[in-house]
Structure 1
């Protein structure tokens, strides 16, 4: 009987060790899965805040671009006004030269195009 008792004791000990190792592996897998789930939940919960932050950045960028665009439009308008004034002035000078009997040099093709189209 003592042989059987020894076999049962050794078998029980081996099975206990195997059970402990198996439980440890399952616990580690469960902890890893739990950590991954926690990370995913945190990312999902942070997504609206990140989107709000992205929206703030986008709105600030649009505001800055609108401001720059308004400034550039003002400058372009001023340059167009100066160009029209210069064209009017040079046309007046050319007419004065014609009246004085002086033939001015021919105008540049771009000036001719501008005089013809206004663009």
Structure 2
């Protein structure tokens, strides 16, 4: 073999090995990316129960607060309905007393009249 043939042979071999190195490097990068993606997925899977627990704790605290507020509002609403009912009975009694004595009272407000007729 002469020098030109050796040069061609070495160039071809180097080209082949260099190309193989390129493909090996590409495969290594892809393997590293796949490993990183798998590690991230594993970390998310491990963190998911803790995140769900935190979300559940926030939800439970919100439900407890809303339940407490609803209880307070129901109590206030019940008290207000009792006051309106008592006031309605009182004004109705006064209106009857005025009628009995021949005094014509002012006409009742439409909302009060509706409450007296329907209780709502």
How far apart in 1 are the matches of 2:110 and 2:22? Answer: 91
The Cα of 1:117 is off from its aligned counterpart by 2.0
Greater mean alpha carbon deviation, residues 75-84 or residues 35-44? 35-44
How far apart in 2 are the matches of 1:9 and 1:110? Answer: 105
Corresponding position of 1:83: 84
How far apart in 2 are the matches of 1:10 and 1:48? Answer: 58
Corresponding position of 1:60: 61
How far apart in 1 are the matches of 2:7 and 2:33? Answer: 39
How far apart in 1 are the matches of 2:67 and 2:45? Answer: 33
Question: Greater relative contact order (Cα 8 A, min sep 6): structure 1 or 2?
Answer: 2
Corresponding position of 2:2: 2
> What stretches of structure 2 of length at least 5 have no aligned partner?
none
Greater mean alpha carbon deviation, residues 40-49 or residues 27-36? 40-49
The Cα of 1:101 is off from its aligned counterpart by 1.7
How far apart in 1 are the matches of 2:110 and 2:11? Answer: 107
Q: TM-score, normalised by structure 1?
A: 0.89
Corresponding position of 1:97: 98
What's the CA shift string for 1:43-86, capped at 9, x where partnerless?
A: 12222222111111111111111011011101111110110111
Q: TM-score, normalised by structure 2?
A: 0.88
> What stretches of structure 1 of length at least 5 have no aligned partner?
none
How far apart in 2 are the matches of 1:46 and 1:102? Answer: 79
How far apart in 2 are the matches of 1:118 and 1:63? Answer: 33
How many equivalent pairs are there?
Answer: 119
What's the CA shift string for 1:74-114, capped at 9, x where partnerless?
A: 11111101101111111121122123221112222322221
